[in-house]
Every structure is written in structure tokens, then in C-alpha cells.
């Protein structure tokens, strides 16, 4: 990045000024706050400029300030929230600078700006809704920044340190390839940075020649949809983007039916393909629709969350939820390709990164003691979204899942070990309405229940759940919940591993070794539940 400005853009409240000051100090560069300079030169506050002269006048002054700053010696520049949305500013900034867009969810942004309510673009009775609208309008422009980084749940010092590492000269990230060997259904999981731009060429090499549909959600589509569309169109594909609501609420039969209608409108046929761009919900929903539309159409998974990259995008299990339980309707259909672009992980809120790491911990417990120990020694860089460390974690997880899927594609035996923590985890999600806990958080709690149950059944040492709980805690994942055991027990009765009304659990013998066994001792199960997820209602 030598000789180039570093420009921080993003919504009000994303932390541009606080992060910019810290980043500039750490890099020994001058710091410029464009809004402060504008107010000093105009002799008036931005609020007054908006009120007396209007937004167009303010934007013209802003453009002048940015043009002058770019002509000065390299430094760190914090722009106003709308500066990068202006096409002229955006073209100049991306050409002459390294642009980082700082992201955060609307609720976080609103909390941060409450202390400074004098914001002309937030005037009105509902500033949170106004922030949501502004973010929705601006995200496509913000997506053109060179780097995206979510600041939710991160301090300015933590964000500045992540950026310092990100912008430091380094060797390009080495790409990894994991092969899922399933005969004629074999495919590769490609892991690297910047892979999304290769999607069109990769798809062309696989053979689909017809129209393609990109299924994404309202959070991910604005950030990466245009990039994926451009990569496909560069190879001559006619691409249609279909957006579903973000979150578990979309993973149902009604939304699948809506996708079928959208595929028909886009005139997809069996020579085409469906690309799932998003997290586990999008991957499961789009994969299920691909498995059933026209009795099966090619699907490429482009996972953007850590949880999807290490788990749900691989193995061909796709499906939707019913009100009584998760993934009760589904299919086994392998993707043709999985493109894992770890650069996407920087745009995730820290909470989602942590939730994804729960699945990586799962792989260590079920199959790889060395991976578990490695995770214990790499907590800090993992949470700092270090690409090299994350790529290694993703690759290690994918290699384990590939081995298990190759041995048991349809989950008739060995593949059940991948459900470690999921029996209770799915029950927690269902019992709390799929809204209180992220999937990885619920699975982490489920793993602890399974570990405590293993101790009570004499399968492992009490030291195992203690060690597991420490790692989950260091990763910032919940290790205790306050829920009604009866609700969890009722939800578990709909688990796919229930046979003849008996729950089968994946239980631990040691770190790296598990077993699938039926649990007849209901008292031991309730004791384990009480230690982690709450007390009985009795």
C-alpha cells in the first residue's frame, strides 16, 4: 500500500474517525477527518449547512475537500458517510487510495450515534428505520471498496489493529483445494481470497451452459451480488439475482416455492445452474431448490459465512425447516463446486465469526486432537479474521468433513458423528424460535451438554467438558443458558436421530474420538442439560 492513501468510509457510527486516528498513529501517517475539515473551512456545522444550503451544496464542498486531500502526501482519511456514494468521489478514491468500508448492523450504528443526535440525515421520529434505509441504499456503493470490515462488537483499537495487519505487505494467500471424492459426484472445495471473481470461469469449466440464478439474501446480496454477477457475465452467462429475506425465517417450504416461480420467470433449464451466495440458510434453501427444481439442476455453493464455509456448504445435505423442527424436509444433492472466499469473512459481525468457529471446534472434538490444540493456540488471530489462519482452519475442517462424507454420503452410519452437539443445538434453536441463538452458539451449548452426558455415562474424563468449555469461552461463545429443560426435551423428540422414540447422541470418548450411541438414562440426560441450558420447570 506504499504511496497510497488509506481511506475509511462507511455509515455514521461505524467508527471511521476513532479507527482512523488509531490507525494513522500506528502507521506514523497524518490523519484527516474530511467532515471536520469541511466544517472548519465553511465556518459552520454540517447540520447548519444542510439546513441553510441543502445537501447538494454540502456534497459539492465535500467533493472539493476530498479532491484536495488526495493531492496531498499519503495519509489516513476518514470520509463522511455519504462521500463514497457519490460516483465522482468513488472513482477518485478507488483509483488513488486503498479504500476500507467499515460496516456495522443498524442497531449498533443507532446505539453509537445516540450520543451525537445532531445528524441531519437522521431527522425524524424513527432514526433506526432511517439508518436501515440509508444502509440499504448505500451498501451497493460501499461494496466497491477494496476491503470490507464489520466493526460490530469490536473496539476501535481492535479494528485498527486488524487493519494494520491487513494493509501490511505480505505474500498472497496460498490457495487450498479439498477434494470430495464421490465418484461421478466428486467436486472440489476451493479455498482462497478473491475467488468470487473466478466464479464464471470455474462454472464454465464444469460444463453448465444455460442461464444461471444467484440466490442470496438481503444482507449479502448488496455486498457481493454485483461482483458475482460480473464474474458470470464476463463468461457470457445470463445471470438473475434472486433475494430472500435474511435469517432462518427464509428456510421454509413457502420460500422454496417462491424460488421455483422465480426460476421459471428466469427461464432456467437443466443446462443452467444455481449459485448459493450467502450463509447456511441460503445454502440449504438454494441447494434444496436446486435438488428439486426440474428434478435436479447444478448447484454451486459460494458460502460467505464461516459456518457455511466449514460445514453446511459441503456434503450435499440441503433442506428446509418445519415449525416442529429443523431440517425435517430435505435431500442429499452434492454441489458441483464450493468456492470459499475467506476475504468475505471480514464483513461478518464478530458474533457470526465466533459462531462459525464453534463448528471448527466440533471437528477437533470428533476427529482431530491436533486441530483442537491448534485452535487453543490461535484464538486471537482467528477472532482478528487473519486470512491465513482462517484459511487453515477452513481447510482442516473441510478435509475432515470430506473424509466423513466420502465414507458415508447418505448418513447411514459414520456421518452421524458430524452431528456432535446438534441434537441439543437444534432443540435449543427450535425451542427459542430460531431467533435467540445463532446456529453455532446453539451447537456450542449442545457440545457441552453432550460432553457432560459423556462423563455421566462413564465415557470420558470430567476434564474434557472443562477443556471444551474453556476453548468455547475464549472464543466468546456462550457456555451457559437459562432455558426450560422440558422445552428442550420436547424439541429433541423431533430430531432426525430419534429411532423408536429413543434419542441417539454423538458422545465423546476423548478429544478427537466420539461414538454414536442411544441414551436410555433419562436422568443422566436431564442432569447434563441442567448443567448447561437451565433447570427443570418442576
**The one catalytic residue among 422, 456, 496, 497:** 422
45: exposed, middle or buried (Cβ count in 10 Å: 0-12, 13-18, 19+): middle
Judge whether 362 counts as a catalytic residue.
no
Judge whether 523 counts as a catalytic residue.
no
Go through 376-397 and write b for each residue having 16 or more CB atoms within 10 A of its CB, e for each that does not. eeeeebbbbbbbebbbbbbbbb
The secondary structure of 39-51 as a DSSP string is HHHHTS-HHHHHH
**The one catalytic residue among 90, 362, 426, 497:** 426
532 and 481 Cβ atoms separated by less than 8 Å: yes
210 and 271 Cβ atoms separated by less than 8 Å: yes
In 52-92, where do the E strands start and end? 76-78
**The one catalytic residue among 419, 496, 497, 526:** 419
**The one catalytic residue among 354, 415, 456, 497:** 415
Judge whether 233 counts as a catalytic residue.
no
**The one catalytic residue among 62, 229, 248, 359:** 359
Judge whether 321 counts as a catalytic residue.
no
343 and 387 Cβ atoms separated by less than 8 Å: yes
Judge whether 295 counts as a catalytic residue.
yes
> What is the distance between the alpha carbons of residues 326 and 155, in angstroms, rounded to a whole number?
35
Alpha helices by DSSP H, listed for 216-270, are 226-233, 253-265
Q: Name the residue among 40, 43, 18, 41 with its Cα closest to residue 31.
A: 18
**The one catalytic residue among 251, 317, 362, 526:** 317
> What is the distance between the alpha carbons of residues 63 and 48, in angstroms, rounded to a whole number?
18
Q: Can you tell me whether residue 154 is helix, strand or coil?
A: coil
Q: Which three cell numbers stand for residue 388?
A: 491465513
**The one catalytic residue among 411, 414, 486, 527:** 411
Judge whether 359 counts as a catalytic residue.
yes
Alpha helices by DSSP H, listed for 325-386, are 350-367, 369-377, 379-383
204: exposed, middle or buried (Cβ count in 10 Å: 0-12, 13-18, 19+): middle
519 and 453 Cβ atoms separated by less than 8 Å: yes
**The one catalytic residue among 326, 401, 496, 497:** 401
Residue with cell 416455492: 257
Judge whether 422 counts as a catalytic residue.
yes
Judge whether 411 counts as a catalytic residue.
yes
Query: What does the CA dihedral 398, 401, 405, 407 come to, rounded to 10 degrees?
Result: 120
Helices (H) and strands (E) in the chain, counts: 22, 16
Task: Count CB atoms within 10 A of the CB of residue 124.
Answer: 8
Residue with cell 458415508: 408
> What is the distance between the alpha carbons of residues 185 and 332, in angstroms, rounded to a whole number?
11
**The one catalytic residue among 439, 452, 456, 526:** 439
268 and 210 Cβ atoms separated by less than 8 Å: yes
The secondary structure of 295-341 as a DSSP string is G--EEEEEE-SHHIIIIITSSSEEEEEETTEEEEEEEE---SEEEEE
Q: Which three cell numbers stand for residue 101?
A: 468500508
Active site residues: 295, 317, 359, 401, 411, 415, 419, 422, 426, 439
Amino acid at each position: 500500500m506504499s504511496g497510497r492513501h488509506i481511506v475509511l468510509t462507511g455509515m455514521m457510527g461505524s467508527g471511521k474517525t476513532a479507527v482512523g486516528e488509531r490507525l494513522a498513529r500506528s502507521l506514523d501517517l497524518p490523519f484527516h477527518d474530511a467532515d471536520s475539515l469541511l466544517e472548519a473551512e465553511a465556518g459552520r456545522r454540517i447540520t447548519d449547512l444542510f439546513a441553510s444550503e441543502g445537501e447538494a451544496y454540502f456534497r459539492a464542498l465535500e467533493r472539493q475537500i476530498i479532491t484536495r486531500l488526495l493531492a496531498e502526501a499519503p495519509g489516513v482519511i476518514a470520509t463522511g458517510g455519504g462521500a463514497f456514494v457519490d460516483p465522482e468521489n468513488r472513482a477518485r478514491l478507488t483509483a488513488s487510495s486503498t479504500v476500507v468500508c467499515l460496516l456495522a448492523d443498524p442497531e449498533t450504528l443507532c446505539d453509537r450515534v445516540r450520543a451525537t443526535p445532531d445528524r441531519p440525515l437522521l431527522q425524524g421520529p424513527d432514526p433506526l428505520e432511517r439508518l436501515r434505509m440509508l444502509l440499504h441504499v448505500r451498501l451497493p456503493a460501499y461494496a466497491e471498496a477494496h476491503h470490507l470490515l464489520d466493526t460490530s462488537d469490536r473496539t476501535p483499537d481492535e479494528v485498527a489493529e486488524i487493519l494494520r495487519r491487513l494493509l501490511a505487505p505480505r505474500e498472497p494467500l496460498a490457495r487450498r483445494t479439498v477434494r470430495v471424492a464421490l465418484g461421478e459426484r466428486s467436486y472440489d472445495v476451493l479455498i482462497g481470497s478473491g475467488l468470487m471473481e473466478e466464479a464464471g470461469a470455474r462454472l464454465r469449466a464444469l460444463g453448465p451452459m444455460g442461464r444461471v440464478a444467484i440466490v442470496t439474501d438481503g444482507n449479502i446480496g448488496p455486498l457481493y451480488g454485483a461482483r458475482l454477477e460480473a464474474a458470470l457475465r464476463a463468461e457470457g452467462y445470463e445471470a438473475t439475482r434472486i433475494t430472500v429475506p435474511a435469517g432462518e425465517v427464509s428456510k421454509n417450504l413457502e420460500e422454496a416455492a417462491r424460488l421455483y416461480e422465480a426460476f421459471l420467470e428466469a427461464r432456467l433449464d437443466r443446462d443452467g445452474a444455481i449459485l448459493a451466495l450467502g450463509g447456511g440458510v441460503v445454502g440449504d434453501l438454494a441447494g434444496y431448490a436446486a435438488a428439486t427444481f426440474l428434478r435436479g439442476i447444478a448447484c454451486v455453493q459460494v458460502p460467505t459465512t464461516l459456518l457455511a464455509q466449514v460445514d453446511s456448504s459441503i456434503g450435499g445435505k440441503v433442506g428446509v425447516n418445519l415449525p416442529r423442527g429443523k431440517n425435517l424436509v430435505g435431500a442429499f444433492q452434492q454441489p458441483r463446486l464450493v468456492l470459499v472466499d475467506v476475504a468475505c469473512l471480514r464483513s461478518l459481525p464478530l458474533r457470526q465469526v465466533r459462531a462459525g468457529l464453534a463448528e471448527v471446534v466440533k471437528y477437533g472434538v470428533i476427529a482431530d486432537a491436533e486441530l483442537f490444540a491448534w485452535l487453543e493456540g490461535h484464538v486471537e488471530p482467528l477472532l482478528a479474521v487473519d486470512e491465513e489462519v482462517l484459511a487453515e482452519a477452513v481447510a482442516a475442517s473441510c478435509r475432515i468433513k470430506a473424509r466423513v462424507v466420502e465414507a458415508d454420503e447418505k448418513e447411514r452410519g459414520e456421518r452421524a458423528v458430524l452431528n456432535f452437539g446438534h441434537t441439543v443445538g437444534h432443540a435449543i434453536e427450535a425451542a427459542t424460535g430460531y431467533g435467540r441463538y445463532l446456529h453455532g452458539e446453539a451447537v456450542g451449548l449442545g457440545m457441552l451438554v453432550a460432553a457432560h452426558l459423556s462423563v455421566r455415562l462413564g465415557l470420558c474424563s470430567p476434564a474434557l467438558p472443562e477443556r471444551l468449555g474453556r476453548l468455547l469461552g475464549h472464543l466468546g461463545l456462550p457456555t451457559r443458558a437459562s432455558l426450560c429443560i422440558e422445552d428442550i426435551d420436547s424439541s429433541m423428540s423431533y430430531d432426525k436421530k430419534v429411532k423408536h422414540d429413543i434419542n441417539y447422541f454423538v458422545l465423546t470418548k476423548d478429544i478427537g474420538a466420539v461414538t454414536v450411541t442411544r441414551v436410555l438414562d433419562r436422568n443422566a440426560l436431564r442432569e447434563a442439560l441442567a448443567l448447561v441450558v437451565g433447570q427443570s420447570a418442576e
